[in-house]
Structure 1
């Protein structure tokens, strides 16, 4: 049984449901077979998906075998129709208390934060399970996000114990620039799903993340 109320450290994988289905599923299985994943988020990009619920449940089935939680991006209204474990909101949802009553009390909930610490405070007050800062670096898949001031992330750690993930333009080659920050993982889409070998790419991200965590631990 997946622990829906706690998210692991490491790579938080975002998948695009517009990707050709066979390719998406094959890549997801390759990654799961060889790498540790904190969670999988299904991006809210269903413009041409033939059967949204069926696709979500196929992704959930793969992830369930590896005890990896699956989150829907924004689509809380279909959560109960799927095997997904939670919802990631891109912004503070209106009528959040009403939404909570309509979804499982075990649902894993996350929120994107930018440079506004009030958003962090809201997430902490409402007992969300994690937050994700976007965008850390310039990114084609996070082009709607402003670049985040690292000082904001440092202040966020002072006001919340929630797991913090970082997203947007992060590559294994620039992760060393994050070593001044205290965070639980990185959210990645194209850096893994578009890689020649997605499993190897995932391991590269995991390796760099572990280096940062070990270095920060040793410097305490």
Structure 2
């Protein structure tokens, strides 16, 4: 099983795939340590076409020993040999999924409802990811997480905590009051002219974090 890096990049597959792969390659050079493919495909994209993109993403990430996770669709993730899955909510078929996903990285999005944190801890998931710590145009389905929630979560579990939503290099210092292991980013890297430099800017600040 690959290790979790501190800088987590989420890919939106509705973007131009060649451009997305180019940006991913640069971001990996900049230090991205885990990649998730968002389950947000254009309607006409077949499972076979999805698989083609997933294979290309994994080939790139493997060169850097970086894990690739798929959002929600754990069966598709297994079909194409990905390293794990990220759930946005507790899956209804968890009893089946957890058997199939043994030895895979599994994470879940959490918010102000600590029951999901408790569930993640009981099932010893690889990590939890809070959404959203700041307002974000790319994250329109998440509530703003209260600072006290993140503090309580740290008291409840020792599994790695990631923070996401509107995080940019310039507002990263505002997260110093939290205890966390890493951050998840989309536009802060992929929308930049130089994804490698953008990723490296995040990573430098994360490395300086105690």
Give the TM-score taking structure 2 as reference length. 0.95
Question: How do residues 99-114 of structure 1 correspond to structure 2 at under 5 angstroms?
Answer: 99-101=97-99, 103-114=100-111
Question: How do residues 116-135 of structure 1 correspond to structure 2 at under 5 angstroms?
Answer: 116-135=113-132
For residue 172 of structure 1, give the secondary structure of its aligned residue in structure 2: coil
Quote the Cα distance in structure 2 between the aligned partners of 1:38 and 1:65: 12
Q: Which deviates more from structure 2 when the two are superposed, residues 23-32 or residues 69-78?
A: 23-32
Which residue of 2 is the match for residue 161 of structure 1? Answer: 158
Q: What is the aligned-residue RMSD (CA, Å)? A: 1.2
Question: How do residues 45-124 of structure 1 correspond to structure 2 at under 5 angstroms?
Answer: 45-47=40-42, 48-49=44-45, 51-101=49-99, 103-124=100-121
Give yes or no for contact 1:18–1:49 (8 Å, CA) kept in 2: no
Give yes or no for contact 1:17–1:49 (8 Å, CA) kept in 2: no
For residue 170 of structure 2, give the secondary structure of its aligned residue in structure 1: helix
Per-residue deviation, residues 67-107 of structure 1 (Å, max 9, x unmatched): 00000000112122112110000011112111122x24111
Quote the Cα distance in structure 2 between the aligned partners of 1:187 and 1:89: 14
Which residue of 2 is the match for residue 42 of structure 1? Answer: 37
Question: How do residues 145-160 of structure 1 correspond to structure 2 at under 5 angstroms?
Answer: 145-160=142-157
Within the candidate set 195, 198, 209, 2:195 is matched to 198
Quote the Cα distance in structure 2 between the aligned partners of 1:32 and 1:144: 27
- TM-aligned CA deviation for residue 116 of structure 1: 0.9
Quote the Cα distance in structure 1 between the aligned partners of 2:116 and 2:17: 35
Which residue of 2 is the match for residue 217 of structure 1? Answer: none
Which stretches in structure 2 are left out of the alignment for 5+ residues? none
Question: How do residues 3-42 of structure 1 correspond to structure 2 at under 5 angstroms?
Answer: 3-4=1-2, 6-8=3-5, 10-33=6-29, 35-42=30-37
How many aligned positions are there? 207
- TM-aligned CA deviation for residue 38 of structure 1: 2.2
Per-residue deviation, residues 101-141 of structure 1 (Å, max 9, x unmatched): 2x241111000000011110000001110000000000011
Which stretches in structure 1 are left out of the alignment for 5+ residues? 215-220
Quote the Cα distance in structure 1 between the aligned partners of 2:123 and 2:101: 15
